[in-house]
Amino acid sequence: MSQEKTARAASIKQPAPVKIVMVQDVFQVGDIKNNADKIIASAIEAGQQGADLVVFPELALVGYPPEDLLHRQGFLQQVKRESLRIQQTLKENPDNVGVVYGLPYEHAGKLYNAALYLSDGVVKQFCFKQSLPNYSVFDEVRYFVAGNESVIIDVKGHRIGLLICEDVWRADCVQQSKEHGAQAIIVINASPFHLNKHSERVAILQDHARRFELPLLYLNMTGGQDELVFDGDSLAVNRQAELVVRAKLFEADRIEIMFDGEDISSSHPMEAQASSEAVTYKALVTGVRDFVHQNGFSGVVIGLSGGVDSALTLAIAVDALGAENVEAVMMPSRYTADMSLQDAEAEAELLGVKYDVVAIEGVFNSFLDTLAPVFAGAPADTTEENIQARCRGLLLMAISNKKGRMVLTTGNKSEMAVGYATLYGDMCGGFAPIKDVCKTLVYKLCRYRNSVSPVIPERVLTRPPTAELREDQCDQDSLPDYAVLDRILELSVEQDKPIDEIVAEGIDRETVLQVITMVQRNEHKRRQSAPGIRITRRAFGRDRRYPITSGYRRK
């Protein structure tokens, strides 16, 4: 290049750095007006503080996942009205802030998962999601049509690519943005939590940053929605693939990032890396808090047994809702040990909740007397055990009806998998906080919670687990050791491994066959169970859909 051209290039004024604000927040499904209010208020506030671009998560206007609400014309019409209100309100605002937010958008008779870019309250561009996930908990192909091109927005002379959630997992979408002139990429997300999700996100962003020499900004929502919980964990990596910023976990947060046309920087505090147990526990607390509050309940009631599962559930509930909104009930029978009564009372006292003891002996005897003519000559078996569990379920639901408090069930994933639970008994309730938590993880979470403050007596964590529905009962009378059981379930349920591969890990074949048979036989129970928080890659519920009636059995 000649000296004249060099001088001319140097004299061209480079665009000033842009201040980008990513708003990580809760956007409740179907609460369109309040979601719009949140977008307006956050955008105006950020504009007043000098932001050039304010970004909101995927489908922020309607929440995620809206599911079959998208089939209702009244729902889509409200989306249009509220989107217009956002545009009109921001157009009247003097701060000239650019805004990106996600919404379902109808165009030419087709519905898209879209991002809308406003500048001065005027719609400049739409970005349509190109990669529609149709696996696990996702079924976007049911509702949306896929876009087919990347979109570049101009923010004060800087060219920024827009992608939506799944798009960033595809290298071709990132490459297309780069080829279209993107100097940086923003991806808006509604990405549910599961164990180790953070490391997966960082890895894919860093891989793209290295390959395409672009900074990437990743915005996620937070909060619970039915079985799903969104962890936030919004991130940004620079051109060198270094993690520049990480938002809070499971909390609303606002991240300010400066982009100078080449790279990004941020003075936002970096969220510290927490242990797996700490993150999982926070996910469970968030899921319980939002499910109970968003469904209009004043609080919850929990049946305490003196065992580890109900102890963990009680701690989660108190941390989510406050002790004043949690009620515990111990319902002893003739088989309840004194230590169970003592430990349940200690748990309630340590957590400061209202605690009642309601014995089921009289109710149980009444059922037995009533059924005696029908059961004449038949030996006692699991029928009598299940009657006890159903007595307890009846009492808990009565308290729920009378006091307007939701019943939280206390069953874990290991029990749900093999049917070690009673329909209309201990499965009674509106929400199952630890439904996707295997038994071995239950103990780890209890240890973690006790490291914060002691709330679960040590004896609860060391005594052999028991349902206490007959004399000298122990879980391992009916089930393999939980460490073995949970490993089989991880390989079979979560990873779909064939029997031979599970056995190759050194697990007894007969034990593997026993567990898999139990899982297959108990689909009808799981289908009738309360929804629970998903924390693994495959939970029982929306992302594991097996028929109840089937002639198929894995041999």
Measured CA to CA, the distance from residue 257 to residue 21 in angstroms comes to 6
Lookup: tokens for 193: 């939590």
Environment class of 500 (CB within 10 Å of its CB; exposed 0-12, middle 13-18, buried 19+): exposed
Sheet holding 158-164, edge to edge: 151-155, 158-164, 184-189, 216-220, 235-237, 243-246
DSSP symbol at 62:
T
Lookup: tokens for 277: 């147990």
Residue (of 471, 399, 460) closest to 428 by Cα position: 399
**Which residue carries 């995620």 as its tokens?**
64
DSSP string, 236-278: EE-TT--EEEE--BSS-EEEEEEE-SS-EE--SPPPPPPPHHH
Amino acid identity of 72? R
First to last CA, the chain: 73
Q: Active site residue: 38, 58, 282, 490, which one?
A: 58
The CA angle 476-283-200, to the nearest 5 degrees, is 100
Q: Using DSSP bridges, classify how beta strands 110-119 and 98-107 pair: parallel, antiparallel or unpaired.
A: antiparallel
Q: Active site residue: 19, 38, 82, 129, which one?
A: 129
Q: Is 58 a catalytic residue?
A: yes
Q: Is 242 a catalytic residue?
A: no
Q: With H, G, I as helix, E, B as strand and everything else as coil, classify residue 108.
A: coil
Dihedral sign for Cα 478, 482, 488, 490, please: positive
CA quadruple 345, 350, 352, 353: dihedral, nearest 10:
-40
Residue 341's alpha-carbon distances to 269, 334, 345, 409, in angstroms, are 46, 12, 6, 19
CB distance 332 to 344 below 8 Å: no
Distance of CA 31 to the CA centre of its chain: 18
Whether omega before 15 lies within 30 degrees of 0, making that bond cis, reads: no
Q: Active site residue: 19, 38, 127, 165, which one?
A: 165
Q: Which pairs count as long-range contacts for 421-425, CB under 8 Å and 24+ apart, including other chains?
A: 421/525, 421/529, 422/385, 422/386, 422/389, 422/390, 422/393, 423/525, 423/528, 424/390, 424/393, 425/386, 425/388, 425/389, 425/390, 425/392, 425/393
Ramachandran class of 385: left when φ > 0, alpha when ψ lies in -120 to 50, beta otherwise: alpha
Q: Is 165 a catalytic residue?
A: yes
Q: With H, G, I as helix, E, B as strand and everything else as coil, classify residue 100.
A: strand
Total Cβ atoms within 10 A of residue 406 = 23
Catalytic residue list: 58, 129, 165
